[in-house]
Structure 1
Amino acid sequence: MSPTANPVNETELCFPQLNSSCNRVLRPYALTIFAYIILSIITLLTVFLNLLVIISISHFKQLHTPTNSLILSLAVSDFFVGFILLFQSMLIDGCWYIGDLMCALYYGLDYIICSTSVGNMILISIDRYVAICDPLHYSIRVTQKRVQVCVCLCWICSLFCLVFLNENLTQPGQYNSCVGECVIIINLIERVAGFIFYFILPITVIVVLYMRVFVVAVSQARAMRSHITTVTVQGSRKVTAKKSELKAARTLGVVVGVFIICFCPYFCVSLADQETLFNISSAAYVICLYYFNSCLNPLIYAFFYPWFRKCIKVIVTLQILKSGSSDTNIL
């Protein structure tokens, strides 16, 4: 190739001024712009929608329930995913421009949020299990204070996942083969341990609990239909309460189902092929699917929960700024 081709070669490097620079992934300009637009939209929606959930549950007193506290914790972790997507948007061309330390911190934050989301899903499943399968003791066993303690423990325990990144955090960039790369290496034992403790065991617990919830919910629904014509006024209130619990179980069941669908590829690839996962450029699609779950959760709430739609209206119209708005009848 003639020397005149050098400028073309330079445009293929992340850092053209460095001979040790990684190569940039070259894509059609229109496709690159489209990818930036899609990621930007997902990022904005993730941050904005989860912020609405956080404000709604935190502000309105009627929503201060144990179940909503779990949803709030999940929304907080999903909110931080929006900021992780900001890093992901710069990786469309396969280059990491902000240094090895930020690369390690990026993965550390990713691990913490991932494990927290898994923990939140387990807590939500347990909450629905007790509410549907043991409703008489629900208010005694599941209190606001106990849920808050469990949520705090969930976030604290998620910090232990940083053990898997110990070497990568103490010596950032040690596994990079060129400048502009963001690579971490986790040995097979650690990957298997992470796969078991952060995916297999949690998913098993979640699925078993929801299978039990499903069986009990179906039997309760049939019982309500068979006795609907003979209930008294007091009985109708009980039926309404049961319907509310069943609806909450169905909604959160959808959330858990979407969570499993979005997380399965991420964990399966992490176990099957480490290079495919931890080379950010080649893993972009799998990781984005994993992140996209955080954008879907508030959309599910908006579709299933009338109170969330009402909260959005109050917030967007700035009625939330009025005195005493926290006492607004949302339910």
Structure 2
Amino acid sequence: MNLLDIFLESLIVVIAVVSLVANLLVLLCFTCSAQVRSQVPGIFIMNLSFCNIFIAVLNMPSTLLGVVKHQKPFGDHFCYTVSFMDTFLTTNTMLSMAALSIDRWIAVVFPLTYSSKMRLKNAALMVSYAWLHSLAFSLTSVLLSWVDYSPAYASCTLHLREDAESRVHFMVFTAVFHACTFALSLFILCFTYLKVLQVARFHCKRIDVITVQTLLLLVDIHPSVKQRCLLEQRKRRQRATKKIGIFIGSFVLCFAPYVITRMTELSPSVKIDHYWGIMSKCLVYSKAASDPFVYSLLRQQYKKALFGVCNRILGRNTLSGHSSPSCMENECYSQRVNKLMEDNCH
């Protein structure tokens, strides 16, 4: 066993542990927080977290055994099951991310009609479509025996046997599958989040004018406070761009190498390098580890839910925050201006 094998094995173990713990924390927040449960995006996040947990429990250990043993980890029936789950869960996670982007697009671009357009019933219908879409492709691959252990990825996944006669049909199926999952989800993410960014920049330009006018009226505040307000203003504009860049960038970084590799190997003359195939698979797995932080755990309501759980475990009462009596008047003005910008830019 060389160092590269050890590195890949360690990487899979780390990704699996982080994925399992982080996604379980998301489920814990959903269970313990009424605020999180009452929000429509919580349905999409729960579906995404359940898929990620199954990937961490079933697919990642299977790939780990494939890397260690350099062969099919168990029998054919187990491999078929893992292959089915690999296609189903990967497709479901992509569509869940697309559903989350649609939810945020409606919330930002159509805020007045959001409550009527994104009800819990509508969110449940979107999740149901994601399940049916995923089942259609995963069942088709199993029924047509297009699943098996692939040495290139050390995984039980979509794979055509060397002696199979339906290569053309498999190539068409693979192309349609990735077009209807990865390409479709990427298009939805780019369209919705770029629209969100456009609207956010427009509102931030409006709040810029309000902020400057407010600062001009507050003639008695210290110049350093004004400078701090303007600096926070610029940071808020950059923050919206960074968040959207993370949403789209993480999707492309984690899924694009694997999808491109799967499309490239359809050519009979192309042979995928064993280590690159496993590494591209690890990138897909890393999305399961990053999703809880990208979509939930770093948000304020999830942090609040986690703090509440920790306080209950430790037997402490949550103290409500009060303003310090020593708060200077200039600092209070700064907080009010920042709050005004916060409300309008989000």
Match of 1:152 in 2: 128
Give runs of aligned pairs for residues 183-202 of structure 1, distance below 5 A.
184-185=159-160, 187-202=170-185
Percentage identity across aligned positions? 20
Match of 2:62 in 1: 87
Give the whole-Å Cα distance in 2 for the aligned partners of 1:156 and 1:124.
Answer: 18
Q: Provide Cα deviations, 1:254-292, integer angstroms capped at 9, x if missing partner.
A: 234312221111111111114879997762111111111
Give the whole-Å Cα distance in 1 for the aligned partners of 2:83 and 2:41.
Answer: 30
Q: So what's the TM-score if we normalise by structure 1?
A: 0.73
Give runs of aligned pairs for residues 1-331 of structure 1, distance below 5 A.
27-28=1-2, 31-64=4-37, 65-83=39-57, 84-93=59-68, 94-162=70-138, 163-168=140-145, 184-185=159-160, 187-228=170-211, 251=243, 254-274=246-266, 283-301=277-295, 304-315=298-309, 317=310, 319=312
Of residues 133-142 and 250-259 in structure 1, the stretch that sits farther from structure 2 once superposed is: 250-259
Give the whole-Å Cα distance in 2 for the aligned partners of 1:282 and 1:247.
Answer: 34
Aligned length: 281
The residue identity in structure 2 corresponding to 1:72 is M
Give the whole-Å Cα distance in 1 for the aligned partners of 2:67 and 2:52.
Answer: 21
Q: Provide Cα deviations, 1:121-143, integer angstroms capped at 9, x if missing partner.
A: 22111111111111111111111
Q: Provide Cα deviations, 1:202-234, integer angstroms capped at 9, x if missing partner.
A: 212221222211111111111122123668xxx
Give the whole-Å Cα distance in 2 for the aligned partners of 1:88 and 1:41.
Answer: 13
Of residues 127-136 and 142-151 in structure 1, the stretch that sits farther from structure 2 once superposed is: 142-151
The residue identity in structure 1 corresponding to 2:291 is N
The residue identity in structure 2 corresponding to 1:76 is F
**Is the 2:98–2:189 contact (alpha carbons within 8 Å) kept by the matching residues of 1?**
yes
Give the whole-Å Cα distance in 1 for the aligned partners of 2:271 and 2:193.
Answer: 30
In the TM superposition, residue 47 of structure 1 has moved relative to its aligned partner by: 0.6
The residue identity in structure 1 corresponding to 2:52 is D
SS in 2 for 1:228: helix
**Is the 1:70–1:124 contact (alpha carbons within 8 Å) kept by the matching residues of 2?**
yes
Give the whole-Å Cα distance in 2 for the aligned partners of 1:176 and 1:305.
Answer: 39
Give the whole-Å Cα distance in 2 for the aligned partners of 1:95 and 1:193.
Answer: 29
Could you tell me which runs of 5 or more consecutive residues in structure 1 were left unpaired when the two chains were aligned: 1-26, 232-243
Alignment RMSD, CA only?
3.6
Q: So what's the TM-score if we normalise by structure 2?
A: 0.70
**Is the 1:270–1:277 contact (alpha carbons within 8 Å) kept by the matching residues of 2?**
no
Could you tell me which runs of 5 or more consecutive residues in structure 2 were left unpaired when the two chains were aligned: 161-166, 215-235, 322-346
Q: Provide Cα deviations, 1:271-317, integer angstroms capped at 9, x if missing partner.
A: 111487999776211111111111012233577413323333343x3
Give the whole-Å Cα distance in 2 for the aligned partners of 1:158 and 1:278.
Answer: 26
In the TM superposition, residue 120 of structure 1 has moved relative to its aligned partner by: 0.7
Give the whole-Å Cα distance in 1 for the aligned partners of 2:264 and 2:279.
Answer: 16
